[in-house]
Amino acid sequence: MPDRKPTVAIIHSSPISVPVYEPLFRALAPEVQVENVVEEGLLDSVVEAGGVTEALRARLLDAFARAEAQGADLLFSACSSVGEVADEASARASVPLVKVDEAMATHACRACSPGGRIGIVATLPTTLGPTARLLERVAAASQLRIEVSTRLVEGAFAALSAGDRAAHDAAVRREVASFASGVDVLVLSL
């Protein structure tokens, strides 16, 4: 009997992220089995509510728990808007849980000088708060004082959702170009 491949369950809050993350995992970690867990409509509900409600939190915690119960060896949260719920799920899980923006936050804080400014460019308003708080937590853990500034790229996510990646990317590039000179480090929270 062949050895079982380790399984990574990617928890998506929208089907829009599946064609981004699945090929990345297949290219960078071909030795793993990728399982996509798409919580249809979750991101739309988070955006509509202006954040994660108690009902959405419960739904997402259940998605992480189900993925683990179905044999996932690693859970991957593919959405910054629900990052704080992923933290809670990680504390409950018996397998590792990785958030899409964890490494970004660590690298951004390492690259920022004490008292420096980290800028966040986001395409959804619901990612701004969780991403800023993540950066602040990572900085505090390293005893680094930072200032976080944010910019929302209006209409970019709508363009992406409509299948116009070129318009999305162009809008993000324009915002990055106008924001970059005012910060020491810039991160994207798309």
- The confidence band for 3, taking pLDDT boundaries of 50, 70 and 90, is confident
What whole-number distance in Å separates Cα of residue 128 and Cα of residue 85? 15
pLDDT single digits (tens) 127-168: 999 999 999 999 999 999 999 999 999 999 999 889 899 999
Contact assessment for residue 87 and residue 64, using Cβ atoms and an 8 Å cutoff: no
Q: Which two tokens stand for residue 165?
A: 């990646």
pLDDT single digits (tens) 79-96: 999 999 999 999 999 999
Q: Is the pTM of this model over 0.95?
A: no
